[in-house]
Amino acid sequence: MPFLCLSTADDNPAEQQVRVATIKSGQTLEVLDAGSTRRTAVRLIGVDAPDPRQLPWGEAATQALQAKLAGQMVRLEFDQERDDAYGRTLAYVWLGDTLINEAMVEEGWILAKGRSPAVDSSNTRYDLRLAHAQETARLLHRGIWNPDQPMRQRPSDFRRNLE
């Protein structure tokens, strides 16, 4: 008689509590797994931050994320794809009830990544929230949307031109 064996251990949890160790850029941080000294690189899902060399915006985005998260306990929420091509863990980062991905976009530090669910159906859980946050930042001229000092080149284009 066949039987089904279910594991009670969750090898692939939907979320994880971690401590922020280092901020690498406006979209990338390193975290310490609970009870471990092992560092994991985490990239915020659904956003595109100015490259750190894209002055002054990259440096400002990095400093903003540092001010929010340095040393904090945060919750990583995972979507469909768990890792990017560079081996970083992809996550929505929550500090209490605040979705950091969204807060960084709404404050004008970083861009929401424009994606089409019809073309790219993975990791789109909060795309509408991110799009609304970006529209708010744009309308209120926050950060990279400031007409006195706008960011004139998308981060992805800036990085492509460096290659």
> Looking at residue 125, what is its pLDDT?
85
> Looking at residue 5, what is its pLDDT?
37
Mean pLDDT of the chain: 88
> Looking at residue 138, what is its pLDDT?
97
119 pLDDT exceeds 70? no
- Could you read off the pLDDT of 41-94 as tens digits, one per residue? 999 999 999 998 999 999 999 999 999 999 999 999 999 889 999 999 999 999
pTM: 0.86
- Could you read off the pLDDT of 83-100 as tens digits, one per residue? 999 999 999 999 999 999
Contact predicate 103/69, CB 8 Å? no
Query: Which amino acid, residue 105?
Result: V
CATH of 15-162, one of 2.40.50.90, 2.40.100.10, 3.40.50.1220, 3.40.50.800: 2.40.50.90
pLDDT band with cut points at 50, 70 and 90 for residue 2: very low
Helices (H), the chain: 57-69, 100-106, 127-139, 155-162
> Looking at residue 126, what is its pLDDT?
94
118 pLDDT exceeds 70? no
108 pLDDT exceeds 80? yes
67-to-60, 100, 115, 160 alpha-carbon distances in Å = 10, 12, 28, 28
3 pLDDT exceeds 50? no
- Every domain of the chain and the residues it spans: 15-162
Q: Give the position of tokens 């922020």.
A: 20
> Looking at residue 76, what is its pLDDT?
97
